[in-house]
Amino acid sequence: MPVRWRDEANTYRGHAAHCLNLSRDVADLRRRLALLEMAQVWLDLADQAEKNAATDLVYETPQPPA
């Protein structure tokens, strides 16, 4: 996995862990649920970053019509 994607995936996982840690100290159930949902989104982004690292898709800008 290229370093850039690995760094992004690790950053996203760190954000997820932070949300989980915050959720442990929140008494309001709606706020706790919001933090848990944010953690899940960060984990989904980490998974997507890892998948992107395995993709060799290259976009080439089309030439304008002559």
pLDDT at 18 over 90: yes
* pTM assigned to the model: 0.76
Q: Note the pLDDT tens digit of each residue in 25-49.
A: 999 999 999 999 999 999 999 999 8
pLDDT of residue 6: 75
How far apart, in whole angstroms, are the C-alpha atoms of residue 62 and residue 49?
Answer: 26
Classify 13 as helix, strand or coil.
helix
